[in-house]
Structure formats: structure tokens, C-alpha cells
Amino acid sequence: MSEMRTMTYAEAVREAMAIAMEADERVFLMGEDVGIYGGAFGVENDLYERFGTERVRDTTISELGIVGMGVGAALTGMRPIVEIQFSDFTAQAMDQIVNQAAKIHFMVGGQASVPLVIRAPGGSGTGAAAQHSQSLEAWFAHVPGLKVVMPSNATDAGALLLAALEDPNPVIVLEHKLLYKQSFAVPATFPKARLGEGRIEREGSDLTIVATSVEVQRSLEAAEQLAAQGISAEVIDPRTIRPLDTELILSSVEKTGRVLLVQEAVKFGGFMSEVSATITESRAFGALQAPVRRLCGLDTPIPYNPKLERASVPQVDDIVREAAALVREW
């Protein structure tokens, strides 16, 4: 565990899938172009050569169908992983995700459960425009019966995927396209993770930054710059947003008294509004020295133009600016 290696986020996802498939013959993968193509983002690469086309299954372009097949396979003894090529196409599969997978265990009174893992890359930054760049986690976080995971680094991408595969419930893992190619230091073995446990990525005392996915990386960079300005930022990554590690966030806010919530998704109705509401109606309300502040995506579909695209979601500079203002003005 102590020896570290360098690995991209995509490699970590691939390795976790391979570990699970080695260990458990019930695990298999279905998705569009996950076979010989190697995945639209190269996540699968040679996985089909290692495990064969029975366990790494290329499907037709039928998102609703393949998620539904995942539900059926999960109900009958398998542990399917379904890849949705871009998380935007979960829109095609919402019925099976929300009306079926999330509710079956409940609706049948516990007679069956749906251990299905759905992986889907989200986020902007690749010039893919409005239909291929959304961050839709808020939809899923609002659905009882689902668990929602957002890994922000390679270690978590692997560890949380393995945890998702151990879970008897449907879990949607929202990966990030920009992180796939990024390299991280990763322990020799993925640490055991538990869905619902967040982590303090960096300790600090002046304010708490809660961020998700790629914004965790940006927040860590921002914290570095803030430190140079004499501001000590604590950075929290909830890692799973449903269930949410509320305790970790509240304790931090009680300590720092200020909180900046950072997400790539559109602000209005986004997941960070839940975090904000949770904080302000909690015991931590009294500890707040400043109003909770959200820094989120602009209220727009993601544009194609690269400058506009960058401007549409929080960048490192924006986080530094907002965090500094929060500390200086209050």
C-alpha cells in the first residue's frame, strides 16, 4: 500500500474493472464501443482482449436498452457494469435508471436487489458542445434508491468503482472526461473505500471548500495559491454525493466558519444547493461567519467556442478569487 505508482484516471478505472472481473465471474461490462474500439475515451483499451467479447460486450446504440439489460442481469445473479458513452446520454436511459433500477428493491418489498454499476463520463472542456458536456449529478442525487459517486482522482476512480461493485444497490459513477488522461500517484493496491465517506483532501482553517469531480483538483490548485496569499483553505471532496458525508462537511464548517461550494454543473438547482441548504439548516448554522457561497457553472448550455466553454465553468482563478473575497469581506 505504501509504494506509489503513477497512473492515469482512465487506467485506474480500467484496472478496477479488471480486478473485479478477475475476482468475480459475475462481473461483466456492456457498452457502446467498449470492445475493439477500446472505449470512446480509451478507458477500456485492451480489456476485451483480456476478458473476451462475452465479458466486454459491444452493444448497439441503445442506452435505455443496455441499462435495462443491466437491471435484468443484476436481478438474476450477475454484477453488470454498463458504460454510457457520455453522461448526457443518461437522458435516454432515465426510465431504467430511475423508474426501474432505483425503485425495484423498494417496490418488491426487498425480494430482490439491483447490484448494477453505471459508469458515465461527464463534464466540459473538450470542445464537444452542449449535448456532450453536461454535469447532471443533481438529477441522480435526487433519486432515492440510487447511489451517486464522483471520483476526483485516479485512486478514487479505482477504489470507489470497486466499492460500487460490492454494493447491492444501483450505483452511478460519474467520471470526468478531463481527468481521464491526467496522471496521479496511486497506491500499489486500491484502498478499500466505502460509499458515503468523504475526505479532507487538504486541511485548512480559514474557510472550507467543498468541491466535486474536476473541481476538487482545481480547488486544490487554488488552495495552493491561496496559501501563498496567507489564506488557509480546507478542501473537502464528498466523493459520493448520495449518500453524502454530511458530518464531515459540518465539522469542517464549524471549524472554519466559512464555506465555498464549487461545482462544474449549472448553479441553479445544482447539487451544491443541497449542500448549502444542509449546512444552513444544521447545527453549523451558528458557526457561520459568512453566508454560504456557491461557485458554479453559468446558467447556460455548454458552448462550443473554447474560450466561452472555459468561462462557463469555475476555473482555478475563479476559485481563488471567490475564496479570497469570502475570507477578506467577512
Partner 1 sequence: MTVASETTRATAVLTDMWRIRLFEEAVEDLYGRGMMHGTMHLSIGQEAVPVGASLCLEDGDVITCTHRGHGHTIARGADLGRMMAELLGRENGYCKGRGGSMHIADVATGNLGANGIVAGGLPIAAGAALSQKMRGTDRVTLCVHGDGAVGEGAWHEAMVLASMWDLPVVFLCENNQYGMSLPSLAAYRVEKLSDKAAGYGMPGETVDGNDVDAVAAAVGRAVERARAGQGPSFVDAVTYRWRGHSKSDKNLYRSKDEIAEWRDKDPIARYSGQVLEAGVLTAADLDAIQAAVRQEIRDAVVFGTRGAEPTVESMLAGVYAPVDEQGAEDRA
Pairing mode, strands 147-149 and 171-176: parallel
Over the window 236 to 275, marking each residue x when it contacts a second copy by CB under 8 A and - when it does not, the resulting string is ------x-x--------------------xx-xxxxxxx-
4 contact choice in a second copy, ligand TPP, partner 1, none (CB below 5 to 8 Å, kind-dependent): none
Footprint of ligand TPP on 56-115 (CB under 6 A): 61, 63, 85, 89, 92
The SS3 call for residue 213 is coil
* Nearest distance from C-beta of residue 239 to a second copy, angstroms: 16
DSSP letter at 114 equals: -
- CB count within 10 Å of CB 291 equals 12
C-alpha grid cell for residue 151? 471520483
Cα 324 to its chain centre, rounded Å, is 26
Question: Is-contact 265 174, C-beta < 8 A?
Answer: no
Any idea which residues carry the catalytic annotation?
63, 132
Over the window 302 to 321, marking each residue x when it contacts a second copy by CB under 8 A and - when it does not, the resulting string is -x------------------
One-letter amino acid of 277: A
142 contact choice in ligand TPP, a second copy, partner 1, none (CB below 5 to 8 Å, kind-dependent): a second copy
Residue 97, C-beta contacts closer than 8 angstroms, at least 6 positions apart: 67, 90, 118, 140, 143, 146, 170, 172
3-state helix, strand, coil in the chain (%, to 5): 45, 20, 35
Footprint of a second copy on 36-55 (CB under 8 A): none
For residues 123 and 302, what is the distance between their CA atoms, to the nearest angstrom?
9
- CB count within 10 Å of CB 156 equals 25
* Nearest distance from C-beta of residue 232 to partner 1, angstroms: 32
- Comparison of 15 and 32: residue with beta carbon closer to ligand TPP: 32
Backbone angles phi, psi at 280, to 5 degrees: -75, -20
* Nearest distance from C-beta of residue 96 to ligand TPP, angstroms: 11
113 contact choice in partner 1, ligand TPP, a second copy, none (CB below 5 to 8 Å, kind-dependent): partner 1
* Nearest distance from C-beta of residue 46 to partner 1, angstroms: 10
Question: Is-contact 140 97, C-beta < 8 A?
Answer: yes
| Interface segment toward a second copy; rule CB under 8 A; list 10-18, 71-79, 123-131, 152-160 | 123-131
Alpha helix stretches (DSSP H) within 135-259: 137-141, 154-166, 177-180, 214-228, 246-256
For residues 41 and 28, what is the distance between their CA atoms, to the nearest angstrom?
19
List the one residue out of 116, 124, 83 whose CA is nearest residue 100.
Answer: 116
Paired strand residues for 209: 235, 260
* Nearest distance from C-beta of residue 144 to ligand TPP, angstroms: 20
* Nearest distance from C-beta of residue 32 to ligand TPP, angstroms: 5
238 contact choice in ligand TPP, a second copy, partner 1, none (CB below 5 to 8 Å, kind-dependent): none
- Comparison of 92 and 282: residue with beta carbon closer to partner 1: 92
Told to check if 68 binds a second copy by CB under 8 A, we report no
| Interface segment toward a second copy; rule CB under 8 A; list 72-80, 194-202, 218-226, 279-287 | 279-287
For residues 129 and 139, what is the distance between their CA atoms, to the nearest angstrom?
20
Binding site for a second copy (CB under 8 A): 64, 88-89, 91-92, 94-95, 97-99, 102-103, 106-107, 129-131, 136, 138-139, 141-145, 242, 244, 265-266, 268-274, 276-278, 280-282, 285, 291-294, 299-301, 303
Residues engaged in binding ligand TPP (CB under 6 A): 32, 61, 63, 85, 89, 92
